[in-house]
Structure 1
Amino acid sequence: MIAHRGASGWAPEHTETAVRLAAQLGADAVEPDLVASRDGVLVVRHDNELGETTDIASRPEFADRRRTQTIDGTELTGWFVEDFTWSELATLRTRERLPQLRPASARRDGADPILRFTDLLAIADETGLDVVAELKHPSHHAAIGLPLDAMLADALARTRWIAPGALTVESFEESALHQVRALGVDARLVYLMEADGTAPDLRLADDAAGPDASAPTYAAPTCAAPTYAGPTYAEQRTDTALARLARRVDAISVAKSVLFEPGSGGLRTSDLVERARAAGLGTITWTLRPENAFLEPAHRLGEHPAAWGDWQREWMLLAELGLEAVFVDHPELWRRIER
């Protein structure tokens, strides 16, 4: 069982508090999302936009760094990790990303700083957690001269974090996984799949972005765009495509919704796990959360999005599929299901 960015149901995600709590609550592994700072440091953040998960909006010294850019086909406005040095990022404090759904976690806003990947490796080593590292927006980072695959290999070499079998690398871009393997990183490779859409490294999109005109004192990098239009994630889940994927990666990790489909008697699980297993692939799913907002409609109780629904019923259905692993925000709840 993989703690999704730590025990992020109880503490702001990607913080030392969340990671250590995940170990205490019985997680086997922790997932850090990795992005890059301006000076080439791997930073543990949900995304490269900082406004949702830190106090940066309240920091006047960084006001001129706010800008708009397009990443993986989506226009975003905010403060981006790649526009800051690590020494600047280290002054920020973390905050709960979903305060309306998780007010208890939000009470820890400001208590923790941001982590580097090397910081997280040290905590994992101390607590015995395996690491499932996600490379976030690798094409975007490569285009601005911050290749996440090379930075990952370098961080592992510098820290000498060589726990055999303890590292998994995952990405929504399969090409990034092959680059990691080409660099000699000893890791299990997992291809992340959204329910819909096409992988960023396969999608034909105009992702060119330049500096924010409202911030003339800081020249932001230009992001180049992928130029190859490839199959959708759904097309990559056909039997033929899964068989091909099995020759290139070790497992797929899919959005939870992909594993459910309507049936004559109500909601039922799909046959994806069985088909992937037949092709030689493990299957992981994300993210199991108890709040109504994240449950399938059939398993919600009441109308308040923050209320906990019938998560036990939903998770039991998933447990019966024989998944390789699940991502959870509350590790102790999955342990109840396993009993």
Structure 2
Amino acid sequence: MTRILQNTPAIIIAHRGASGYRPEHTLAAYELGIALGADYIEPDLVSTKDGVLIARHENEISETTDVASHAEFAYRQTTKIIDGESKTGWFTEDFTLTEIKTLRAKERIGQLRSQNTTYDGLLEIPTLQEIIDLVKVKSAEINRAIGIYPETKHPTYFQSIGLALEAPLLATLTANGYQGANAPVFIQSFEVGNLQDLSTKTDLPLVQLLNDSGKPYDFVVSGCNRTYADLATASGLEEIAKYAQAVGVHKNLLVPRDSNGKLQSPTSLVTDAHAAGLLVHVWTFRNEDCFLPLDFQGNPQGEYELFFSLGIDGVFSDYPDTAFAVTENPRFKLGSP
């Protein structure tokens, strides 16, 4: 099959950095992701108490930092409702940046990626600015523009506590020269409203994330009945194209799995999205068998090959070197059969 719509090969997005090899959302993970061939690195963004954007997958940080071992912060353990779910732990919005910088990252799934636990306690939690600084240095070193792919995490929640993510994100990007529709940046969100609002304030590329179940949390708050499945229809994608330039979709929306984990026939999502003028970036590709469909146990390369053959425009990968190796296959060069 021939890739359509774009004049460039599919991009590789280092998912939380090269998180298969280093603890996620650390400068070490991002740096390695770049070295392993990624075109973009992906920081998930949350806010500190003093309004600084930092990279964590969640604002509750007990799974990804050593905060629980800091006796001086024991009293800050609490329970909060985040996007309708009760969570107990320590939350970034209760810490200043200075306090966050006393913490160290740890591997989130150490039982699966025990090799990454070697780095536990060694790596800081980076700010968005520090990530951009790294990208600038590495881009200059390798003479290749590396992009950033930030996600606004829990935007409705952060808005509700007076720490909205969007204004500081745009301010930081602008201050660092990210301007225009062709800038090497994609801003992503699982919610709809904040992307629609961002589309009126910036011409930077925006990405609507689509899960394979549930609905955007701002839809829950507003009482909207539409789900991610509704957004993934041809008409839903046409609506998304009014405010975004791409969709970031769960793999199962393109190639569903049956109850045994075996792949079924592809859906029309790629064709429908391209017809609406949207790029299609797919998540998340991982090498471990527990994440792979039954069809590709022990063969993560085969899963990439299948999805690339569908004409997608990018992949989020914990192992960007595996993705890069497949993209180097002449079969998946632009225009190849």
TM-score scaled to structure 2, two decimals? 0.87
Which position in structure 2 is the counterpart of 1:281? 278
* Higher relative contact order (CA closer than 8 Å, sequence separation 6+): 2
Secondary structure in structure 2 of the residue aligned to 1:49: coil
For each residue in 1:204-223, what CA deviation from the matched residue of structure 2 results, as whole angstroms up to 9, or x when unmatched?
xxxxxxxxxxxxxxxxxxxx
Any gaps of 5 or more consecutive residues in structure 1?
204-225, 301-308
The Cα of 1:160 is off from its aligned counterpart by 4.3
- Kindly tell me the number of residue pairs found equivalent between the two proteins: 307
* Cα drift, residue 162 of structure 1: 4.9
Q: Which residue of 2 aligns with 1:268?
A: 265
Q: Is this contact kept in 1: 2:257–2:293, CA < 8 A? A: no
Alpha carbon RMSD of aligned pairs, Å?
1.7
Pair 1:248-2:243 in alignment: yes
C-alpha separation in 2, matches of 1:24 and 1:119: 17
Letter aligned with residue 278 of structure 1 = A
CA distance in 2, matches of 1:131, 1:146: 22
Q: Sort the Cα spacing of 1:125 and 1:64 in 2 relative to 1 into closer, same or farther, 3 A.
A: same
The yes-or-no answer on 1:37 pairing with 2:55 is no
Deviation at 1:183, TM superposition (A): 3.0
Q: Distance in 1 between matches of 2:289 and 2:264?
A: 16
Structure 1 residue aligned with 2:77, among 47, 51, 66? 66
Post-superposition Cα deviations, 1:231-268, rounded to whole Å, max 9, x if no partner, equal 000011111111222122111111112221369x9633
| Structure 2: distance between partners of 1:60 and 1:73 | 29
CA distance in 1, matches of 2:124, 2:225: 39
* AA matched with 2:200: A
Output one character per residue of 1:145-202: Cα deviation in whole Å (capped at 9) or x when no partner. 0110111122224444559521110000121123323333x41100001101010111
For residues 309 and 291 of structure 2, the distance between their equivalents in structure 1, rounded to whole angstroms, comes to: 20
| 1:181 match | 199
Matches within 5 A, 1:1-339: 1-128=12-139, 129-162=146-179, 165-184=183-202, 186-203=203-220, 226-261=221-256, 267-300=264-297, 309-338=298-327, 339=329
Task: Tell me the secondary structure at the aligned position of residue 20 of structure 1.
Answer: helix
Distance in structure 2 (CA, Å) of the matches to 1:180 and 1:70: 25
Q: SS of the counterpart of 1:234?
A: helix
**Identity across aligned pairs (percent)?**
39
Q: Secondary structure at the match of 2:265?
A: strand
Q: Is the 8 A contact 1:150 1:180 kept in 2?
A: no
